[in-house]
Amino acid sequence: MLNALEASTEVRRKILKLAQVSPLSFTHMSAMRQVGLDRNQQNVGARERAALEYRNYSSTFISGLLQTPEFIRSLFVKPLFVGSINAQRMITARVDRQRILYEPGRHFRFLFSEAALRSRLCSGPVMAMQMDHIASMSRLDSVDISVLPWTTRIPQATLHHFTIYDERLVVVENMHGDLKVRDHKDIVMYAELFESLHGVAQHGDAAREFLREVADEHRGLPD
């Protein structure tokens, strides 16, 4: 952009300095739509590939890295997206990102609140398959799945879901865009929050049993 605008050396220096030190940046949903939400998956995938440790806390939603094709399709036929996105391209782009889960040398930790597992964004059978898939993925050496039942006493309140990439970046998603946090103190705060919740969550066989019970309940619900 600076080259295209033929910015002076002094202007370039000032702007590049601001860009380097800015602890926060925000990408508006309108910008993602302009690029194409399916193409934006490449940007998300690049963030994931740049990290060896990935920590995701989901308070109301299932992380894209664990979504089944059926679940993805059900999301992008909602009124919010109809007419602005090709569902099949989105499925392909998101599933392509998921190959990183099988790469050696990486560690993925997913922490779900019960609300994230029970929020019915699609039919009961699709939700049940989604729960089964999460339980299956928990058996990968690179993947750790934990859940926070409603009855668990949590150490502190959470206001939203977030993803931590190594110790260098936190991304907070909301309805109108993505907030990217790079300040070290803020990243430490999110990391400490994640670890405190992870410490009281259910893991391993207990988490898989919980997922099985939720799956069975989704199967019993009408479409």
With residue 213 as reference, give the H or E element that holds it: helix 204-219
Q: Between 202 and 173, where is the model more confident?
A: 202
Q: Is the pLDDT of residue 199 over 60?
A: yes
Q: Over 70: is that where the pLDDT of 210 sits?
A: yes
Q: Which residues are CB-contacts of 7 (< 8 A; sequence separation ≥ 6)?
A: 15
Tell which residue, 189, 196, 210, has the closest CA to residue 145.
210
Position 6 scores a pLDDT of 86
Q: What is the average pLDDT value for the chain, to the nearest integer?
A: 91
Confidence (pLDDT) at 19:
65
Q: Hey, how many other C-beta atoms are within 10 angstroms of the C-beta on 176?
A: 11
Angle of helix 87-97 relative to helix 37-49, nearest 10 degrees, comes to 0
pTM to 2 decimal places: 0.86
